[in-house]
Structure 1
Amino acid sequence: MSGRQHARGDAWPQRVARRLGQWFRAFTTHSPSRFAIVVFASLVLVTTALLSLPIASADRTVTPLADAVFTAVSAVCVTGLTSVDMTSHWSHFGEAVIYGAVNVGGMGALTLASMLGLIISKRMGLRAKLIAAGDTNPLRAHGGAVNESQTVRLGEVGLLLRTVALSTVIIEVVVGLLIYPSMLQKFGWAAALWEAPMYAAMAFTNTGFTLNEGGIGIFADDYFFMTVIMITAFIGSVGFPVLFALSRHLVTPGRAALLRPSTWSLHVKLTLITSGLLLVGGAVSFLALEYDNPHTFGQLDVTDTIFQSFFLSTMTRSGGMTFIDPGELYGSGMVVGSMLMFVGGGSASTAGGIKVTTLAVLALAVWSEARGRQSVQAFGRRIPSDVQRVAVAVLAWGATICAVATIVIAQITHAPIAEVLFDVISAFGTVGLSTGLTEALPDHALYVMGITIFMGRVGTVTLAAAVAATSRTQHYALPVERPIVG
């Protein structure tokens, strides 16, 4: 072979590798949505690799691939569903990996990537701001113009990243300190130092993992502990944009505005009001449906029943920790739990589901249609049609994902459809509650459940935008024809 031929032979693999690298870079950076999916998938792969190490298991053996993958997806996507016994399978190293994955996943893929870029480059350019903004408002993922009159403006993305980092650290530290005395009563001081941060992280990120023997059930008589965990889970579920919007009032001269809801943005109002209504409505529903169930509330006194109703209502939204075995709920109670899990928490929060603002926009649209209004209005503001279309799309895609996953897993396992549906919605809503079905699933059903978790955490808007990549402007209008609806 001549020298020129030899050089050409060496250059060909390099050219292929270079072109593949260019294609991958263009594919991932062209759209924040695609970048989010790649980052989440990369986090899952890294976590899977770490959990597959012999040092990650308590008996120093290699964890089966299906269990390692599923646990990694459940941790990165802050879900809490398990396929192994979390109290005995993992070593301290494995638990530390899960703790890190939960905190990283709770902050969000694009937020994390932007933080790393800011730390490395000491500055945040326009592209980095656009990428980070994709975590705060999925409408930006379409690539088109976005009205900046919203909770987080593009110029405030840097402040939002600081809010995310500081709120995560401060809230988890404060919660860890508050629950440490309760931990100290149940464990030794050293074990309490390990368990307190774990519970604080699992509560704030709305992840249902409990890594101690007996789980959260050992604190059933500790109302202070349960109240702290419940409030922390609720704070995590409202979303970082809401925390950011409220925190801005604390650093302004008019701090009293924080206590005046009239000064809040529409997103903050819809998130907090809808979350509060779901919390109370869920608690009342569980109280009415389960008060005579001997396996849930039937053996409790009035105070315990009311408290556990609110606790269960909070945790079915996305928290995933409960003293009640979901498999023991009546069919009616299981349906209510499934509905709460499907809705989930606030946008850009650690919770999953279709989001409370999606439900609020759809409810307002139905109310406006019933009243004969030409536009959807709330609190003196008009909600544009593009937001309404996204809300309908999120609902349709979420229902489709849950339906397909339920059919596939039910066909694989032939398990009761109510249990399959409950666990699938729990996976999509990244809740972590289970009737006991998930831990007994065969490997191929676990992969289906893992994909459902991934889709639920990434979000249906992000998935759709990743496929479309960009918005397309249509310079013409087709003739109008109205089909019969309803």
Structure 2
Amino acid sequence: MTAPVSAWRSAKEALRRLLPNSRKPPQMVVWGFAGVTALGTLLLSLPISSANGQPTEVLTALFTATSAVCVTGHIVVDTGSHWSAFGEVVLLGLIQIGGFGIMTFASLIGMLVARTLGLRMQRTAQSETKSLEFGEVRRVVVRIILLALVIELVVTIALATRFIGLGYEWGRAIYLGVFHAISSFNNAGFALWSDNLMPFVTDAGVLVPIMTAVVLGGIGFPVLFQVGRWLRGRLGRWSLHVKITLLTYGSLLVAGSIAVTMLEWRNPATLGPLSVGDKLLAGLFHGITPRTAGFNALDVGEFNSATLLVNDILMFIGGGSAGTAGGIKVTTFALLAFVIIAEIRGEPTVHVMGRRLPSALQRQALTVALLGVGVVMAATAALLVLTPFTLDQVLFESVSAFGTVGLSTGITADLPPAGQLIIVLLMFIGRLGPITLASALALRERARRYELPEERPIVG
């Protein structure tokens, strides 16, 4: 009996290591996203999901499901013509789940069924919503759901009203409003026209509501909550996170819009033929969408190389933490800038707006940024080997996928299967974040029990 019992215990231990560790919330987030992606792949591959009633190839379904769950917007088939109404509803569901966060949905379900959240569920929700106290998780989750639905409803009304004014039937106009409101607030970038939003490049009634939803979704829920409380007179002072996010996000939005507008001002394939007012509108739109919505009102494939580089930078930085945007996040970018400034000044610690930044936070920001650079560079190198496209095109595609943006120069559908799988992996990693993914894959935490003697190598 000893040998069978020993073998059984060994098998249990091996299985335990393979299955997600429920005591590690980041790992549960990873498995939750993977599970929903798998379900979405299955649903999108069904004949009922395609417009022609034929099964969709598994790779195409996987690519689209990952893009929807990771709220990216990359596509290999035309959204409006390939998918049926059922397929489009599946896409909307995946986008909404991805935007809210798998674990936020799990927390809501737990509240509805059990009327209470267990400690394990609260830890899981805390990891996804970035709240600080276990007791706050229930309230935070409900507020996230309500806030998202209210914003999406308002944007839906604005878009539907405009589409009716453009001559669409009521039912179609409302459906278009719902689809693009959900897609824009969740920074997904999916559109039901084959050329995305290019038909509306001069239409402020369509672009402005979408831009507004993109900013509100991408700036982060903690910022929206605190700003809302401040507007109601219930908050006297903003937190450091809100200050840094608003300052950095706003600065990059203005700088990005100005850069794109100036660089494309005379480009005959983009802004050149438009009037001054329309140029400013389209330039503002394309200064916002790389942060990380992925809608395009201009032909991105016709952008100048300098404009593509500006977009690369904006896409890599992304939006605010705990929102629907991707990238390394504006707070990470800002913290690294503050560290550099302090180092140049020769200051031993980093102080920002009357507060000192802990060294652990600085290391975390550096790790996120460098892991992001490493992932993008590795994927870019692989795609250069696998495809005949230029560095500008391939780098743009990689950064867009990692930043969960969805913008493309038009090469996505022409990538070989191996290239599409690389983009799928980039979208998955980009949505979860390098730190979250690394934590989820770690089998156990390691604590250093001693320190070695200090020695300083030469830097620079």
TM-score (norm 1): 0.89
- Aligned-partner Cα distance in 1 for 2:360–2:10: 42
Amino acid paired to 2:163 = M
Question: Are positions 1:236 and 2:217 aligned together?
Answer: yes
Question: Are positions 1:331 and 2:319 aligned together?
Answer: no
Question: Are positions 1:55 and 2:36 aligned together?
Answer: no
Partner SS, residue 162 of structure 2: helix
Amino acid paired to 2:268 = P
Amino acid paired to 1:312 = H
Q: 1:152: Cα distance to partner?
A: 4.0
Distance 1:428 1:41, change over 3 A: same
Partner residue of 1:264 out of 211, 216, 238: 238
Partner residue of 2:81 out of 84, 88, 106: 88
Amino acid paired to 2:59 = A
| Contact 1:136 1:152 survives alignment (8 Å) | no
- Aligned-partner Cα distance in 2 for 1:451–1:481: 38
- Aligned-partner Cα distance in 1 for 2:196–2:254: 26
Match of 2:178 in 1: 197
Q: 1:15: Cα distance to partner?
A: 8.8
| Contact 1:343 1:353 survives alignment (8 Å) | yes
Amino acid paired to 2:42 = A
Partner SS, residue 382 of structure 1: strand
Match of 1:156 in 2: 136
Partner SS, residue 94 of structure 2: helix
Question: Are positions 1:78 and 2:71 aligned together?
Answer: yes
Match of 2:114 in 1: 121
Amino acid paired to 1:293 = N
Select between 434-443 and 302-311 the one with higher mean Cα deviation.
302-311
Q: Indicate the structure whose relative CO is greater, using CA pairs within 8 Å and at least 6 residues apart.
A: 1
- Aligned-partner Cα distance in 1 for 2:163–2:9: 59
Match of 1:172 in 2: 152
Question: Are positions 1:225 and 2:202 aligned together?
Answer: no
Partner residue of 1:97 out of 82, 90, 95: 90
- Aligned-partner Cα distance in 2 for 1:78–1:474: 38
Partner residue of 1:31 out of 21, 24, 38: 24
- Aligned-partner Cα distance in 2 for 1:43–1:166: 22
Question: Are positions 1:65 and 2:58 aligned together?
Answer: yes
Amino acid paired to 2:387 = T
Amino acid paired to 2:313 = M
Gaps of 5+ in 2: none
| Count of aligned residue pairs for this structure pair | 458
Matches within 5 A, 1:291-440: 291-440=265-414
Distance 1:211 1:474, change over 3 A: same
Match of 1:140 in 2: none
| Contact 2:189 2:405 survives alignment (8 Å) | yes
Q: 1:222: Cα distance to partner?
A: 2.0
Aligned-residue sequence identity (percent) comes to 40
Provide, for residues 358-398 of structure 1, a one-character-per-residue CA deviation record: whole Å limited to 9, x for no partner: 00100011111112221111111111011100111111110
Q: 1:193: Cα distance to partner?
A: 1.9
Distance 1:24 1:248, change over 3 A: farther
Q: 1:245: Cα distance to partner?
A: 2.9
Amino acid paired to 2:139 = L
- Aligned-partner Cα distance in 1 for 2:33–2:167: 36
Distance 1:277 1:240, change over 3 A: same
Partner SS, residue 479 of structure 1: coil
Amino acid paired to 2:437 = L
Q: What RMSD over aligned residues (CA atoms) do the two structures have, in Å?
A: 2.3
Q: 1:257: Cα distance to partner?
A: 5.3
- Aligned-partner Cα distance in 2 for 1:343–1:23: 34
Match of 1:212 in 2: 193
| Contact 1:346 1:355 survives alignment (8 Å) | yes
Match of 1:144 in 2: none
Amino acid paired to 1:82 = I
Select between 385-394 and 371-380 the one with higher mean Cα deviation.
371-380
Amino acid paired to 1:57 = S
Question: Are positions 1:131 and 2:108 aligned together?
Answer: no
Amino acid paired to 2:153 = V
Distance 1:302 1:28, change over 3 A: same
Distance 1:18 1:368, change over 3 A: closer
- Aligned-partner Cα distance in 1 for 2:341–2:424: 36
Q: 1:130: Cα distance to partner?
A: 1.5
- Aligned-partner Cα distance in 2 for 1:408–1:221: 38
| Contact 2:107 2:138 survives alignment (8 Å) | no
Match of 2:227 in 1: 246
Q: 1:16: Cα distance to partner?
A: 9.4
Q: 1:285: Cα distance to partner?
A: 1.1
- Aligned-partner Cα distance in 2 for 1:50–1:21: 28
Distance 1:193 1:288, change over 3 A: closer
Distance 1:125 1:180, change over 3 A: same
Partner SS, residue 87 of structure 1: helix
Q: 1:20: Cα distance to partner?
A: 7.0
- Aligned-partner Cα distance in 2 for 1:213–1:276: 31
- Aligned-partner Cα distance in 2 for 1:361–1:60: 51
- Aligned-partner Cα distance in 2 for 1:130–1:36: 11
- Aligned-partner Cα distance in 2 for 1:15–1:91: 49
| Contact 2:196 2:296 survives alignment (8 Å) | no
Distance 1:373 1:154, change over 3 A: farther
Amino acid paired to 1:231 = T
Select between 89-98 and 204-213 the one with higher mean Cα deviation.
204-213
Q: 1:19: Cα distance to partner?
A: 6.7
- Aligned-partner Cα distance in 1 for 2:182–2:143: 17
